[in-house]
Structure 1
Amino acid sequence: MELPFGVNFIGIGAAAPPVALSNHDLTALVETSDEWIQTRTGICQRRIATPDITLTELATTAAQNAITQAKIDPTTIDLIILATSTPDDLFGSASLIQSKIGASHAVAFDLTAACSGFIFGLVTASQYLQTGTYRRALVIGADILSRWVDWTDRRTCILFGDGAGAMILDAAPTNENALLGFELRSDGKLNHHLTLAFQPEPQALVHTKIAQGKYQPIYMNGQEIYRFAVTQVPEVITKTLHRANLTAADMDWLVLHQANQRILDSVAQRLEIPKEKVISNLANYGNTSAASIPLALAESINQGKIKPGHVIATAGFGAGLTWGSAIFRWGV
């Protein structure tokens, strides 16, 4: 079914905490080495939010940068979607961001799909625009995973960093539609391989009990997540290419969730995409979850590497387990 409108992607912005935690720094916390981490992950350092930095602050800065690049008035934004697993408030942080950027006419809500969150948010916002419900949307991917890392667990503490990225989407005529295809997936049977789970502690309440407690640190079965990513991500990108009537050769850039350099290399190899077409910045930021794709996009666009008209294939994957791909043409 052909939708009445298309989508254009007109602005992007990013933000990261100023403090960097290097691999050498981590050797003071756990038994590891710079060589061990780089060889297995490709990460050299990660940005870490100090206690005075909030997720709302990072997301707001990224959003303001996207608004500036797009040269728009924030009051013209109709919809804000914040993709995050680490809001400042469990009731949601999107509305506070809406207020801080001055998007007084926008409806705002949080969306949680872990490291796939930005792709899920991008596709969700696109549907609102393509059906004519809204004309302009802001999608933000932001996470502060350092809050939830066990810094004594060398399997996970070496991986994660903090950051935010944001993108402005506009409704457009169908013949100018820049969203060329997408595919979203979930499989709850694999949920237990990557979790940030609530640990209930029974508390007596009159003549019954309730569950109170706290969230446990991030747990990840690295081998299973790697196996999942290198098989499912190429498949979902291939399906998205098919939906878009494109081949891998038609892509200018591949921008994957920045989880592990070995995953990026393996996916590119399976799709027969040259390394020079693969965007990677995880060496400097680590795995920033929902922020990783827009962070990588923003950096490459601001450097002039990605240019207007370029076709970009993106794919996110992570807890849930969730994964998805979107292919779009950058710029108007």
Structure 2
Amino acid sequence: MSGRAGRAAVVCGVGGYVPPGVVTNEDLTARLDTSDEWIRSRTGIATRHVIEPGTATSDLAVEAGLRALKSSGEARADAVVLATTTPDQPCPATAPQVAARLGLAGAAAFDVSAVCTGFLYGLATASGLIAAGTAERVLLIAADAFTTIIDPQDRGTAVIFADGAGAVVLRAGRPDEPGAVGRTVLGSDGDHRHLIEVPAGGSRQRSTGLPAAPGEEFFRMHGRDTYRMAVERMTAASKAAVESAGWDLADVDRLAAHQANARILTAVAERLGIPPERQLSNIEHVGNTGAASIPLLLAQAAEAGDLAAGHRVLLTAFGGGLAWGSTTLVWPGLDV
């Protein structure tokens, strides 16, 4: 490694956390017009984890951060980046308190907001901090308490979204070593922001001086249009990231896609020609955990042995904004 031009962000630790509370499909059918068969056939979800009253996103983030730091072998970082859609408060950012609780007070700390693509946007940001020489080690956490913004009576979202956190530690290293993060392909389309949104609570609604209309404080998603755009954008970004890495799609050993729902995962994998045995998935047991989805998936897959050193991994996600992204890396040997 010679000078900053040769610096790359290398994954050296990973950790995930889900809160202990579990909601089954049967629990949901008791209050919603739905069934276990309907939920499974449309989402692939059987259970999901939810926070207890009084628990916040920062609590999830701290747990995942502790596990990632332990996995890396060193409880230190020069910067903490938190990807989340559900910060503890609108102001200040949640990352500084997470850093302080992890014993990293004094480190640079800030939030990144890109909804379900937050981890990949955070990964690009953390990689930039390392490439520029601003940081030698970055703790990147993605955490969401999505159930705090979901309408419990909305069948379209209440059956899908859940709570959780995942984290990775990145260190400065060489672009050619295992764990080095490849080029991150990112994109957005604000003209379609209405497909995934929380209408109330921001300056647009507050500046009117009028109270929010009933239900506008909750997360909304237009499922059919979101499905179509998610499949298109994730597929295109994945192909670009694989090409940038100098791989063919046949070289991909593991696809780690944002766990949005089973139908999207299947459609993307089919378009990329990646068979089921090379697809990582945990959506059946954790649901859609927003920004936390990919790092939580990586942590659980590594712990289970489904993700091993040397595997060529393709990461891809799509979320509100609209925003999407993909990147690649060769999985390193980690203590999980």
TM-score w.r.t. the length of structure 2 is 0.92
Does residue 44 (structure 1) correspond to residue 46 (structure 2)? The answer is yes
Counterpart in 1 of 2:298? 297
Contact 1:195 1:218 in 2 (8 A): yes
Deviation for aligned residue 1:133: 1.8
Deviation for aligned residue 1:85: 0.5
1:181-223 deviations in whole A, cap 9, x for unaligned?
Answer: 22000000110111012257779xxxxx846659611111000
Query: What is the percent sequence identity of the aligned residues?
Result: 38
Seen in structure 2, the aligned counterparts of structure 1 residues 124 and 52 have a Cα distance that, compared at 3 Å, is same
Tell me how far apart the structure 1 counterparts of residues 254 and 236 of structure 2 sit (CA, whole Å).
17
Tell me how far apart the structure 2 counterparts of residues 88 and 189 of structure 1 sit (CA, whole Å).
28
Contact 2:175 2:181 in 1 (8 A): no
| Greater CA drift, 177-186 or 222-231 | 177-186
Tell me how far apart the structure 1 counterparts of residues 284 and 159 of structure 2 sit (CA, whole Å).
11
Deviation for aligned residue 1:316: 1.1
Deviation for aligned residue 1:147: 0.6
Does residue 31 (structure 1) correspond to residue 37 (structure 2)? The answer is no
Counterpart in 2 of 1:65? 67
Contact 2:84 2:114 in 1 (8 A): yes
Tell me how far apart the structure 2 counterparts of residues 168 and 101 of structure 1 sit (CA, whole Å).
13
Three-state SS of the structure 1 residue aligned to 2:6 is coil
5+ residue gaps in structure 1?
Answer: 204-208
Higher strand share: 1
Q: What letter is aligned with 1:95?
A: P
1:161-188 deviations in whole A, cap 9, x for unaligned?
Answer: 0000010000013443712222000000
TM-score w.r.t. the length of structure 1 is 0.93
Contact 1:43 1:286 in 2 (8 A): yes
Tell me how far apart the structure 2 counterparts of residues 176 and 38 of structure 1 sit (CA, whole Å).
40
Q: What letter is aligned with 1:112?
A: S
Deviation for aligned residue 1:127: 1.1
Counterpart in 2 of 1:325? 326
Three-state SS of the structure 2 residue aligned to 1:110 is strand
Three-state SS of the structure 1 residue aligned to 2:156 is coil
Contact 2:166 2:299 in 1 (8 A): yes
Tell me how far apart the structure 1 counterparts of residues 205 and 224 of structure 2 sit (CA, whole Å).
30
Tell me how far apart the structure 2 counterparts of residues 94 and 197 of structure 1 sit (CA, whole Å).
24
Three-state SS of the structure 1 residue aligned to 2:12 is strand
Tell me how far apart the structure 2 counterparts of residues 62 and 329 of structure 1 sit (CA, whole Å).
22
| Greater CA drift, 134-143 or 174-183 | 174-183
Q: What letter is aligned with 2:55?
A: I
Deviation for aligned residue 1:273: 0.5
Contact 2:147 2:161 in 1 (8 A): yes
Seen in structure 2, the aligned counterparts of structure 1 residues 125 and 281 have a Cα distance that, compared at 3 Å, is same
Q: Select which of 56, 59, 82 maps to 2:58.
A: 56
1:242-265 deviations in whole A, cap 9, x for unaligned?
Answer: 111111111110011101111111
Count of matched residue positions in the alignment of Structure 1 and Structure 2: 324
Seen in structure 2, the aligned counterparts of structure 1 residues 243 and 264 have a Cα distance that, compared at 3 Å, is same
Counterpart in 2 of 1:206? none
Contact 1:180 1:329 in 2 (8 A): no
Q: What letter is aligned with 1:148?
A: I
Tell me how far apart the structure 2 counterparts of residues 257 and 57 of structure 1 sit (CA, whole Å).
22
Counterpart in 2 of 1:176? 177
1:96-127 deviations in whole A, cap 9, x for unaligned?
Answer: 00000011341000010000000100111001
Contact 1:82 1:139 in 2 (8 A): yes
Question: Matches of residues 300-311 of structure 1 in structure 2 within 5 Å?
Answer: 300-311=301-312
Tell me how far apart the structure 1 counterparts of residues 94 and 112 of structure 2 sit (CA, whole Å).
10
Counterpart in 1 of 2:138? 137
Does residue 313 (structure 1) correspond to residue 314 (structure 2)? The answer is yes
Counterpart in 1 of 2:107? 106
Seen in structure 2, the aligned counterparts of structure 1 residues 285 and 174 have a Cα distance that, compared at 3 Å, is closer
Counterpart in 2 of 1:18? 20
